[in-house]
Amino acid sequence: MAFDQDAYPQELDHAPSAVQTNKVLRQTYMLLAISMVPTVVGAWFGVVSGLYQTMLASPGISLIVFLGGAVGFMFAIEKNKESGLGVAFLLGFTFFMGIMLSRMVGMVLGMQGGATLVGMAFGGTGLIFLGMSALGTVIKRDLSSMGKFLMIGALIVFAAGLISVIFPMPALTLALTVMVLAIFSLFILYDVNRIVKGGETNYVSATLALYMNVYNVFQALLALIGIGSSKD
């Protein structure tokens, strides 16, 4: 299910210097890398404990838990983003998101060559992140105008995703998955560019935004690879 907390870029009275923006970008990348650890641990725990099977059996309840947990964590992270507590909440959030991700990971691992499929999704996500991040840093143009359109697209996908949970339709699910992949790949480009242009000066908030982008890209790739493998 696609979900993003990104806000529209804020106007700054004084644009940060290149040194400041580079520092925020480095801190963001470092924290993003660290956040992958609790995500992997959470996904592993969800799979080995069999919790993912419970989530597969109760998609409605899983959705409610996901939305409640995500909104609660995001609120706590943003409220404490200027302190170390914000980092702690962020890492707790990524562990929670790993558990929620175990639903799809466990399902794909149950397919023939499941571990390879998960590895392919992970590698593909890494390539997309590296490519979009590089573009975001080298493009001289301010891409803040993209934010509104990307946010509208994310909201449309989110609303359609809720409908697909209530009324499962394979064709709709496939179309939404492709849209999620496209939208959140562009969100990586947009968010990195926003940091570089000084539109985001807090590395905790920046990490949260990029984490959600990467999470949704990986989830979409994993779903597409799983769908393709199931048809073989």
Reported as a single tens digit per residue, the pLDDT across 24-54 is 999 999 999 999 999 999 999 999 999 999 9
Evaluate if residue 84 carries a pLDDT over 70: yes
Q: Which of 194, 189, 139 is nearest to 16 (CA)?
A: 194
Give CA separation, 216 vs 17, 183, 185, in Å: 31, 9, 9
Which of 11-25, 40-54, 79-93, 117-131 has the weakest average pLDDT? Answer: 11-25
- In this prediction, residue 158 has a pLDDT band, given cuts at 50, 70 and 90, of confident
**Cβ proximity of 200 and 27 under 8 Å:** no
**Cβ proximity of 226 and 107 under 8 Å:** yes
CA 126 to mean position of chain CA atoms: 13
Q: What are phi and psi of 197, to 5 degrees?
A: -85, 0
- List pLDDT tens digits, range 198-216: 888 999 999 999 999 999 9
Q: What is the mean pLDDT of the chain?
A: 88
Q: Please, how many CA atoms are within 13 Å of residue 88, restricted to the half-sphere of its CB?
A: 5
Looking at residue 82, its pLDDT comes to: 93
Looking at residue 228, its pLDDT comes to: 75
Which string of DSSP letters, residue by residue, matches 105-129?
HHHHHTSTTHHHHHHHHHHHHHHHH
Percent of the chain with pLDDT over 70: 91
Evaluate if residue 71 carries a pLDDT over 70: yes
Can you tell me the distance from the alpha carbon of 143 to that of 146, in angstroms, rounded to the nearest whole number?
6
- In this prediction, residue 14 has a pLDDT band, given cuts at 50, 70 and 90, of low
